[in-house]
Structures are given as structure tokens and as C-alpha cells.
Amino acid sequence: MRILLIGEYSRLHNSLKEGLLGLGHQVTIVGSGDGFKNYPVDITLKLGFQKGLKKKLRLAILKLTTIDIAAVDLRGKFQKHKSKLSGYDVVQLINESSFQTTPELELETAKFLKEHNKKLFLLSCGTDHISVTHAFSNELLYTIATPYKEGKIEENSFYPTLKYLKPEYKKLSEELYELIDGVISTDMDYHLPLVNHPKYLGLIPNPINVDILPYKSLNITGEIRIFHGINRTNYFKKGNDLFEAALDIIQKKYPNKVSVITVESLPYTEYIKTYNDSHILLDQIYSHDQGYNALEAMAKGKVVFTGAGKHFLKYHNLDHTVAIDATPSVEDLVKSLETLIEHPEKLDNISKNARAFIEEQHNYITIAQQYLDVWNNN
């Protein structure tokens, strides 16, 4: 099969490509590289006018004319690559806003991809209209909307999420769902909002290339090393403030037993290298499943604080710990850290469980085959 994967912001499509290539298929990834993360893509379509004077010029023209010159520029880039974006058996969009441009252009590009290729599928693996609507519905105890509701995040800073509630993004979502052959979720945070949707094809766990992520025994002989990676843009959204508060308490209580490594907004390859020698990784709060950072760390044997609560445990029928459920409670975070520090043997058990879980549930070859099965049957 010839497969075109549109968008990349977590290494999901790269890992899926590696699995599909291993099964003998041809795969092309289109994307921007996602800023500082700099993920590899085959065809680069960067959204211009995002920084400095060019951004100011864009905003000035947008205010005076309602014309978004960044969208005009992207449309031109898309037009130049049309021949390379046609003739595929399957096209998969990573998001309702795969190009991070205007709803009008997102829909325009989706229509082209639908018309010039055999099948078009959509992933729900990041904020979109349905998941954000669900996040504000209070059906779950906490969601990505929680820190915004608590006043930690200003409206303009939360706009990348809030925009999906706007009428134009609701319309984009509805029209996309008319176009696509089906939508696939990648974890519980996106599965739960889609349950019973007529276009929903089910959850396929994130693919992880276990072959390039060797397991390393924690081998704790001295201090327990705790890694905390911060993306300043998503500081409150990821619960970094709660992690920092918990770490402050832990460092004061166990000054000779723990060391804390904190980094900010590193490119993906540097981020991976930096946490290699840690035992515990603090990933995110407000989620009910693991994202890419967590899964890759688990594959390498780290004990990860992330979404791993009742919905996740029930779905995977787990009766043992593969990750620590990070809830939005400093007290709970401190208790969980204390337990691990005072009983380091638990770290080794969870580390082994984590690797086994990734191999069983997230192996990139197995997951690639699951995608092929869904694509072929719909």
C-alpha cells in the first residue's frame, strides 16, 4: 500500500511509518516538524509568519483586511506539492487542524486529499472539537480544561485549546466527519469522547518503536534521580506547577536520597538523552492515559508519573502497576513519591512491568498491522 500521513507533533506518525515500512508498505509523512521538537518529515509544509516582524505584519494585515497571509502562503506551498499528495491508498490526518492553519484551509486541503486519494482517515490524538467539548462537560473528575477553569491559565494562553469550541471549528469538525472514512483514537483521553460516534473505528494504542528504545535496569545504588521536563508553553496544562510543588516538599524531606533534574523546552533528541540516567520521570497531570513522552520513557524502564487511573486500568484489564497515576493533588503526588523513595524495590518492579506493557500493547509492528486492518476494512 501507498500511505500518506499528514502532520506530526509527537513522533506518532514516525513510529507508525517505521512499523508500516517493516511490513513492506510505502509511507510518506507531511508536516512542519513541530517547532523546537523538530520531528523528521518527508515533505515539509511550514506555517510561515509566526515570529518577529513577520508575525507583526501578519497580525496587522489580518486586523485590517481579515486576510491571513500565513494561510495564503501555506496554500501556495500546498499547491506546489499537490502531485506528491495524490494517488495514495490511504491518507491519515493527525488532527482536525493538521496544518495548524485556518479552518477554511484545513477543510480545503482535506477535500483535495479525499478527492485525489482512495481513503481518508482522521486521528483523535490531540485537542479537537469533540475532545475539548467533552473536557468541558464535567463527565470526568479532571481534564485538560481543569487548570483553565481554576484560573491558572489566561484565556489568550489557552486559545489553542479553546478555539476548537468556536463556531468555525465546530463547522470544520462536522464537515470533516462527513468527508472521512472513519476516525481512530490513540488513548483514553480521546477514546472516551468518541464512544458511540457513528464514524468512530475504535482505539489503536500509540505505536512505540521498541527496537530503538533499549530497556535499561534502574540499578539504584545511590540517590533516586527524578526527571522533570517542562514545556513552558504548556506549563499549567501539563500540571508542571503541581509537580514542582511536590518536588519542593520531597527535596526538603529527602535531601540525601533524591536528586532532581529539571529541563525546559528541549528538542526531542536532546530531551531523550537528558532523561536516560533518571529513575523516575514526571510526565503530566490531568490525563487519563499516557502520551508519547510517557510511553517512550516506560519502554526504557523509567517509572513514569502520568495518566494511569481507573479508565486506563479497566480498558487494559491491568491488575499491576505499569505507571504511577498522577492526579491533580500535591498531597497525592508527594505520597506516591515517598512510597517509591522509601521502598526502592517497588521502582524495579514497576520498571519491568512498564517495559513488558509497552512490548505487549504498543509494539510498533503490531500497531501498524492494527492500522492496516482498520484501513482495509473501512
CA distances from 300 to 50, 57, 137, 350, 378 (A): 35, 45, 36, 12, 35
Domain ranges for the chain, please list them. Answer: 2-45+81-207+364-377, 211-361
Instruction: For the chain, give the percent of residues with pLDDT over 90.
Output: 78
Overall fold of domain 2-45+81-207+364-377 = Rossmann fold (3.40.50)
Q: Each residue of 38-80: pLDDT tens digit?
A: 678 999 887 777 777 777 777 777 777 877 777 777 788 888 8
Residues forming beta bridges with residue 262, ordered by sequence position? 228
Distance of CA 97 to the CA centre of its chain: 14
Q: Each residue of 284-326: pLDDT tens digit?
A: 999 999 999 899 999 999 999 999 999 999 999 999 999 999 9
Please, is 24 exposed, middle or buried when counting C-beta atoms within 10 Å of its C-beta (0-12, 13-18, 19+)? exposed
The residue-averaged pLDDT of 268-273 equals: 77
The whole-angstrom separation of Cα 208 and Cα 357 is 11
* Residues 285, 98, 119, 85, CA torsion sign: negative
The whole-angstrom separation of Cα 158 and Cα 151 is 11
Query: Cα-Cα-Cα-Cα dihedral of 191, 5, 90, 2, to 10°?
Result: -140
The whole-angstrom separation of Cα 41 and Cα 96 is 19
Is the pLDDT confidence value at 131 over 80? Answer: yes
Domain 211-361 part of CATH 3.40.50.2000: yes
- Strands (DSSP E) found in the chain: 2-6, 26-31, 43-44, 90-93, 119-124, 182-185, 200-203, 224-230, 258-264, 280-282, 303-306, 324-325
Furthest C-alpha separation in the chain: 64
Q: Each residue of 249-266: pLDDT tens digit?
A: 999 999 999 999 999 877
The whole-angstrom separation of Cα 141 and Cα 25 is 42
What does the block give as the cell for 161? 485549546
Residue 37: the pLDDT is 60
- Spell out the residues 6+ positions from residue 232 whose beta carbon is closer than 8 angstroms to its own: 264, 265
